[in-house]
């Protein structure tokens, strides 16, 4: 996911290039063209609507990020001369007080211009007392961290409100995705192979899109429960209750007795899974029942009372944080695989990829509540990721500016403990510019790399 950061000056007479704004400048317009083109080609307007909803939510998040910097800077008396949504040519602007507010042509982020972000910037002598770099360190940290703080607030608010208003996602009674013409002797076999049998499901009258309510009178709550229930009747007739349209039907089927790997691993005397010579978990082969259907996962939502909603929100938040930690610690090695067939569906994804996932969520066959909940949690996760990413101690991210500021303060305290009584010694930012530009180039290349992968080798949720 590309980072979203305010555009701020870092050297006299110019601005440091910001990977967030530039990454979005590359990613969003291309993403819009790609997805709208797909929508037109497939006639799937709902898909386009879902993607455009993601873009709108992203732009609102960026605008609120900038508002965090702007409002805290104003609160501490700093001077902010511009607050713009978008980049490029100005479409509309209005001067109110000392700040120009406006909208630019390319809806790919936004920026706030705070006077004197560094001591290298040329500042009007009349504005120098209000320059950012002259303010107390605590105030500057608050202003710099305000953008990420806003993202965290958005994430927490979305998770909590979705839990209270919609509830949590739960697996519903499984459906029948497809009915096979046969049951094969081997798990990876094909009809016509030696030992394949006519499909018991087909003979019993199962149809695609049936919803399985019970097996042998026992309700089934998910796809795994359905598989386990049918496996327990090898060669024995069993009654399966299904819902077809608005009717409930009892279908009697005799699962074929076949050899299949167990769903549970082989355990040793200590209750630990047994591993083979290659370090893979061993699943013993057993005689089970099979009827020749492909179970279909179905998801719905379950309402929660206020106390349950708060607890579920905490659980959801922990899962999101764990996912972010995994991204930075375990998923880095998957970057080289994004163009290959083994692309990790839980790995890195760019703006185009996230937009496509959003479109697929809205265009899916799930219930409206499930779609809305999934969309909200996608936006919440995005904001949490961006908030954390923006605090990485790398210039030109906000976290990089905070790291420089804290280093200055720590060094100053050590020097004063040793008897130093002079002015605070500032970090020479000109020496950091090569590193800053290297980070910008890396982020830009990373954005383009993911952009291409999301177009030619997209992650799909179905």
Query: Of these residues, 18, 66, 360, 366, which one is catalytic?
Result: 66
Report the pLDDT value the prediction gives residue 22, as an integer from 0 to 100: 36
pLDDT tier at 36, thresholds 50, 70, 90: low
Question: What are the structural domain ranges in the chain?
Answer: 19-168+358-405+432-456, 175-297
Is 272 one of the catalytic residues? Answer: no
Angle in degrees, CA 224, 214, 228, rounded to 5: 30
pLDDT at 35 over 70: no
Encode pLDDT of 296-317 as tens digits.
999 999 999 999 999 999 999 9
Query: Which of these, 373, 320, 366, 328, lies nearest to 169 by C-alpha position?
Result: 373
Report the pLDDT value the prediction gives residue 44, as an integer from 0 to 100: 56
Report the pLDDT value the prediction gives residue 341, as an integer from 0 to 100: 87
User: Which residues neighbour 139 within 8 Å (Cβ) at sequence distance 6 or greater?
Assistant: 76
Report the pLDDT value the prediction gives residue 351, as an integer from 0 to 100: 80
Q: Whole-model pTM? A: 0.81
* Alpha carbon distance 379, 356 (integer Å): 13
Angle between helices 368-389 and 306-329 (to 10 degrees): 50
Q: Which two tokens stand for residue 356?
A: 């496509």
Q: What is the pLDDT averaged over residues 106-115?
A: 84
pLDDT tier at 270, thresholds 50, 70, 90: confident
Report the pLDDT value the prediction gives residue 75, as an integer from 0 to 100: 96
Q: Which two tokens stand for residue 334?
A: 């998957």
Average pLDDT over the chain, rounded to whole? 86
Q: Do the Cβ atoms of 140 and 126 come closer than 8 Å? A: no
Report the pLDDT value the prediction gives residue 26, as an integer from 0 to 100: 44
Which position has the higher pLDDT, 43 or 318? 318
* Alpha carbon distance 111, 442 (integer Å): 21
Q: What is the pLDDT averaged over residues 76-92?
A: 91
Report the pLDDT value the prediction gives residue 437, as an integer from 0 to 100: 93
Report the pLDDT value the prediction gives residue 239, as an integer from 0 to 100: 97
Report the pLDDT value the prediction gives residue 376, as an integer from 0 to 100: 95
* Alpha carbon distance 414, 406 (integer Å): 12
Report the pLDDT value the prediction gives residue 40, as an integer from 0 to 100: 52
Class of residue 140 by CB neighbours under 10 A (exposed 0-12, middle 13-18, buried 19+)? buried
Report the pLDDT value the prediction gives residue 350, as an integer from 0 to 100: 84
Report the pLDDT value the prediction gives residue 29, as an integer from 0 to 100: 55
Report the pLDDT value the prediction gives residue 1, as an integer from 0 to 100: 35
* H helical segments located in 364-460: 368-389, 398-417, 433-456
> What share of the chain in percent tops pLDDT 70?
90
Pick the CATH number of 175-297 from 3.30.230.10, 3.40.50.300, 2.40.50.100, 2.30.42.10: 2.30.42.10
Report the pLDDT value the prediction gives residue 79, as an integer from 0 to 100: 95
Compute the half-sphere exposure of residue 39: CA atoms within 13 Å on the CB side of its CA: 20
pLDDT at 258 over 80: yes
State in Å, rounded, how far the first CA of the chain is from the last one.
21
Backbone angles phi, psi at 98, to 5 degrees: -95, 5
pLDDT tier at 4, thresholds 50, 70, 90: very low
Report the pLDDT value the prediction gives residue 448, as an integer from 0 to 100: 87
Which of 31-35, 152-156, 198-202 is predicted with the least confidence, judged by mean pLDDT? Answer: 31-35
CA 3 to chain centre: 13
pLDDT at 98 over 90: yes
Q: Do the Cβ atoms of 217 and 233 come closer than 8 Å? A: no
Report the pLDDT value the prediction gives residue 5, as an integer from 0 to 100: 32
Which position has the higher pLDDT, 243 or 186? 243
Q: What is the pLDDT averaged over residues 100-123?
A: 86
Q: Which residues of 76-97 are buried (b: 16+ CB within 10 A; e: fewer)?
A: eebbbebbbbbbeeeeeeeeee
pLDDT tier at 20, thresholds 50, 70, 90: very low
pLDDT tier at 34, thresholds 50, 70, 90: low
pLDDT at 125 over 80: yes
pLDDT at 94 over 70: yes
């Amino acid at each position: 996911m590309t980072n979203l950061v305010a555009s701020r000056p870092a050297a006299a007479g110019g601005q440091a290039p910001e990977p967030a704004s530039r990454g979005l400048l590359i990613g969003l317009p291309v993403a819009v063209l790609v997805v709208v083109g797909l929508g037109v080609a497939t006639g799937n307007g709902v898909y386009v609507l879902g993607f455009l909803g993601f873009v709108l939510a992203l732009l609102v998040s960026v605008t609120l990020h900038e508002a965090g910097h702007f409002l805290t800077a104003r609160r501490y008396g700093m001077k902010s001369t511009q607050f713009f949504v978008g980049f490029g040519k100005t479409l509309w602007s209005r001067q109110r007080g000392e700040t120009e507010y406006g909208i630019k042509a390319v809806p790919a982020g936004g920026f706030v211009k705070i006077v004197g972000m560094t001591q290298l910037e040329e500042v009007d002598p009349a504005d120098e007392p209000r320059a950012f770099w002259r303010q107390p360190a605590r105030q500057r940290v608050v202003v710099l961290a305000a953008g990420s703080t806003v993202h965290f607030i958005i994430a927490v608010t979305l998770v909590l409100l979705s839990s209270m208003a919609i509830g949590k996602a739960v697996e519903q009674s499984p459906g029948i995705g497809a009915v096979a013409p046969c049951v094969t002797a081997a798990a990876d076999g094909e009809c016509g192979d030696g030992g394949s049998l006519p499909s018991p499901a087909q003979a019993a009258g199962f149809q695609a899109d049936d919803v399985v309510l019970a097996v042998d009178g026992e309700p089934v709550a998910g796809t795994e429960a359905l598989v386990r229930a049918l496996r327990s009747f090898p060669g024995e007739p069993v009654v399966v209750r299904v819902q077809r349209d608005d009717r409930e039907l009892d279908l009697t089927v005799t699962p074929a007795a076949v050899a299949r790997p167990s769903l549970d691993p082989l355990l040793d005397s200590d209750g630990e899974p047994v591993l083979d010579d290659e370090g893979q978990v061993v699943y013993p082969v057993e005689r089970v029942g099979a009827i020749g259907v492909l179970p279909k996962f179905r998801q719905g939502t379950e309402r929660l009372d206020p106390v349950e909603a708060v607890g579920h929100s905490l659980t959801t938040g922990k899962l999101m944080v764990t996912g972010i930690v995994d991204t930075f610690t375990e998923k880095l090695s998957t970057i080289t695989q994004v163009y290959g067939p083994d692309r990790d569906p839980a790995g890195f994804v760019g703006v185009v990829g996230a937009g496509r996932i959003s479109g697929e969520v809205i265009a899916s066959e799930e219930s409206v509540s499930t779609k809305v909940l999934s969309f909200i949690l996608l936006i919440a996760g995005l904001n949490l990721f961006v908030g954390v990413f923006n605090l990485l101690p790398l210039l030109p991210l906000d976290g990089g500016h905070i790291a420089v500021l804290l280093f200055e303060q720590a060094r100053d305290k050590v020097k004063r403990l040793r008897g130093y009584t002079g002015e605070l010694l500032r970090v020479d930012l000109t020496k950091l510019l090569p590193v800053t530009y290297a980070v910008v180039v890396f982020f830009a290349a990373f954005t383009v790399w993911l952009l291409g992968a999301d177009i030619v080798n997209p992650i799909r949720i179905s």
